[in-house]
Amino acid sequence: MLQRGMARLRWAALLGVGGHCACFGLPPPAWPARRLPAWVRGLSPLQRLSQMLPEPQGPCSPLQSAPRTRHEVPEASGPAEELAVSSSTPPPRDVPFQVGDLILLSSHGRHRTFRKIMKLKDTGQLSSNWGAIRHQDVLGKLPGQVFSSSTGYHFMFRRPALEDYVLLMKRGPNISYPKDVNMMVMMMDVHQGDAVLEVGSGSGGMSLFLSKAVGSQGRVMSFEIRKDHHEIAKKNYKNWCNAWKISHSEEWPENVDFIHKDIATAAQDLKSKTFDAVALDMLNPQIALPIVYQSLKQGGVCTIYLASITQIIELLNGISSCRLALYCEKITEVTLRDWLVCPAKKKDGTFVQRVQPTTNLDSELHTHEDDEGEEGEEEQVQAEDNGETLSDSPYGAVPYIARPLHWQCGHTAFLIKLRKFKPAHTLSTSDDSN
């Protein structure tokens, strides 16, 4: 029972009950600050979590430094303080924010979420309609730091992951969504060292994921018919590489050749090349297929990103009228469903209280005298569980909301997987020869 209680306490801490935003560990702006003692408010989410865990028996765990009294916990944490929490020698990736860093600011209000990527400078401030934060205050801090803006919103500051960057970078045409590109990479079975052909550089979103998938030993060739899109794709790619350099010892591989050309006129450029895989994100991909087909290795996969089923029918018609040996292995769609999991709150920002059932156990057991056995036992266990939740756990009185979000990502694209094959030889049989 005690173990179960402890496990619940840990889950409560991880989910952020008792002062953190459930999904991200951020105190939501509407949270009345006076509810928590000052020394707790000064802690980072990681520090709060470590306070809730039992003391380790052996040497200090990575989450906890040597035991300290609560008065020793600093109010704000700079890089030196953060390092004291993790370990004395920082791993090489613990690089504090520097000028030129791309920073993702995120904040989660009751009904709105703020997410924006900004570049860190040595002067001025990062401003938005959720308030401002001075660049100087951010420089030197480690990613994961929470800042309070001039208007009182709390922001988590960290370096964007590739997915964040692609979703939030400046766009020309619409991007291929990361969820879809990852599926395409899987469908093409792209590995480090592979050569991949992309048609429709667009904003450079897919190019970045392909670049990551093939690594420093691989190569991506990306064609784009429009000059403005070609420039945007190159710029987005360059910005990502530059920001990457700041926080990593190894540079991002510059392995994408962006080519400004209509794929329909690129037969000569591709003549001597063989690709492990091909990815098309363009209108009328059936126009490109006869060209790219020649350079796709036998058994290799061409994936296509198309918004509507009628376009897929056009595509399949194109393949059969051009008599291309491409077998359609799969037509699929990637659907995601996001959930809301957080403590239930009233409109005034205070927590909803769990209503304890008032079942009279004695009379219940009495009524079910005739059905003695397993069912009766089950009911008793349930009653003990309730007792423990409400009395032993400090969070037991707060019920949770746990349901799919009302707003979900809608349809983005269908993904088509075509495999290049060699048609079978017609074998002559003894019957045929007669």
Ligand X SMILES: C[S@@+](CC[C@H](N)C(=O)[O-])C[C@H]1O[C@@H](n2cnc3c(N)ncnc32)[C@H](O)[C@@H]1O
Q: Which is nearer to ligand X, 126 or 190 (CB)?
A: 190
Residue numbers 341-380 binding ligand X by CB under 6 A? none
Contact between 252 and ligand X by CB under 6 A: the answer reads no
Nearest approach in angstroms of CB 282 to ligand X is: 4
Q: Which is nearer to ligand X, 16 or 205 (CB)?
A: 205
Contact between 411 and ligand X by CB under 6 A: the answer reads no
Contact between 291 and ligand X by CB under 6 A: the answer reads no
x/- letters, 136..175, toward ligand X (CB under 6 A): -------------------------------------xxx
Q: Which is nearer to ligand X, 104 or 206 (CB)?
A: 206
Interface segment toward ligand X; rule CB under 6 A; list 4-12, 96-104, 113-121, 279-287: 279-287
Contact between 229 and ligand X by CB under 6 A: the answer reads yes
The whole-angstrom separation of Cα 217 and Cα 347 is 55
> Which residue is it, tokens 């430094």?
65
Task: Decide if 349 contacts 32 (C-beta within 8 A).
Answer: yes
Tell me which residue of 330, 284, 173, 179 sits closest to 236, measured CA to CA.
Answer: 173
Nearest approach in angstroms of CB 232 to ligand X is: 8
Chosen residue from 82, 101, 194, 224 binding ligand X by CB under 6 A: 224
Nearest approach in angstroms of CB 180 to ligand X is: 9
Contact between 282 and ligand X by CB under 6 A: the answer reads yes
> Which residue is it, tokens 């990457």?
244
248 alpha-carbon distance from chain centroid: 20
Chosen residue from 225, 241, 312, 365 binding ligand X by CB under 6 A: 225
Q: Which is nearer to ligand X, 228 or 385 (CB)?
A: 228
Contact between 212 and ligand X by CB under 6 A: the answer reads no
- Residues near ligand X (CB under 6 A) are 173-176, 199-200, 202-206, 223-226, 229, 262-264, 281-283
